[in-house]
Amino acid sequence: MQEYIEVEFRTGRMGYFLNTENIPLQPEDLIIVEVERGEDIAQIVNMAAVREEKASSDASGRVYKICRTADDSDIGKLRSVTEEEVKAANTFNDILLRYPFEMKLIETVYQFDGNKLTFFFTADGRIDFRTFVRELATVFKTRIELHQTTGRDEAKRLGGFGMCGNQYCCSSFLKRFNQVTIKMAKDQNLTGNLSKISGPCGRLLCCLNFEEDFYMEAGKDYPVIGTCVLYNGQKAMVLRNDVLAQKIFITNEDQSVVDLIP
């Protein structure tokens, strides 16, 4: 099966491309790739993606390829592109002042060849910004895309440090958001204070997902919470399992709590 190169664009989008020219590549290389409207720059994150259905393609089924590795001139151009993005962000905010809705601009990203300009923003609710987009297109004379982002997207783009003292997982190594559920917090006995297990994005911490497999494996021999049991001849109910301390907590009819070692 044909192997594809997985890359990450500056917008955070992931893509899969063919190396038809057998260009020598290494992980984390910056490369120039074909896109629907020209060329863009991206960084390699996976050298051997084999699922063909993930390959970047357009509506006609055309699969895009890698053009070349980024050279010194491309790096120099990238610096100038980032400078233009700062100017574009300032212009965006100036134009926004003339419109009745409120938006918070998070990031501005030019496609490498300048054929597209993407603005990432947050806002309360949905906004009809068609007239606003038309004015932006007139000013910048390129294709304009506006993307309303979530709290997690905003945290990933802005970056920062979590309560653990490390950089946010989403802005350092986590390429895709995986679902984090309240069940994971319950499995790990962390539902007492949800504010302590929520990130700055307002969602449950991604690291709950990292440890879920351990808790599921360690807790498979423990009774299900809520199960009725007999203890010292009296009916009791399993209140909580603590797999780290290797204890089972039960409560009886008089509401007293007893911890047992399984």
The enclosing domain of 96 has a CATH number of: 3.30.300
Query: Interior CA angle at 180 toward 178 and 186, to 5°?
Result: 150
Res 57: pLDDT: 53
The answer to whether position 187 is within a domain reads yes
Averaged over 39-61, what is the pLDDT?
71
At 82-112, the pLDDT tens digits run 999 999 999 999 999 999 888 889 999 999 9
Closest CA to 119 of 82, 86, 146, 99: 146
The answer to whether position 223 is within a domain reads no
Residue type, 234: Q
The answer to whether position 197 is within a domain reads yes
Averaged over 241-250, what is the pLDDT?
84
Domain stops at, among 70, 102, 117 = 70
| Per-residue pLDDT at 1 exceeds 80 | no
Averaged over 21-40, what is the pLDDT?
91
Note whether 203 and 238 are same-domain residues.
no
pLDDT category of residue 2 using cuts at 50, 70 and 90:
low
Closest CA to 180 of 157, 193, 195, 198: 198
Note whether 166 and 118 are same-domain residues.
no
Note whether 185 and 208 are same-domain residues.
yes
User: How many domains is the chain partitioned into structurally?
Assistant: 4
Domain stops at, among 70, 89, 105 = 70
Q: Does residue 248 come out as left (phi exceeding 0), alpha (psi in the -120 to 50 range) or beta?
A: beta
Query: What is the average pLDDT value for the chain, to the nearest integer?
Result: 85
This prediction has a pTM of: 0.71
Note whether 142 and 80 are same-domain residues.
yes
Res 29: pLDDT: 93
CA distances from 93 to 7, 96, 197 (A): 31, 5, 34
Note whether 137 and 83 are same-domain residues.
yes
The answer to whether position 61 is within a domain reads yes
Instruction: Show the tokens assigned to 115.
Output: 């054929």
CA distances from 209 to 200, 212, 213 (A): 17, 5, 8
Rounded Cα distance between 143 and 127, Å, is 19
Range(s) of the domain holding residue 118? 75-149
Res 91: pLDDT: 96
Note whether 48 and 92 are same-domain residues.
no
Note whether 206 and 232 are same-domain residues.
no
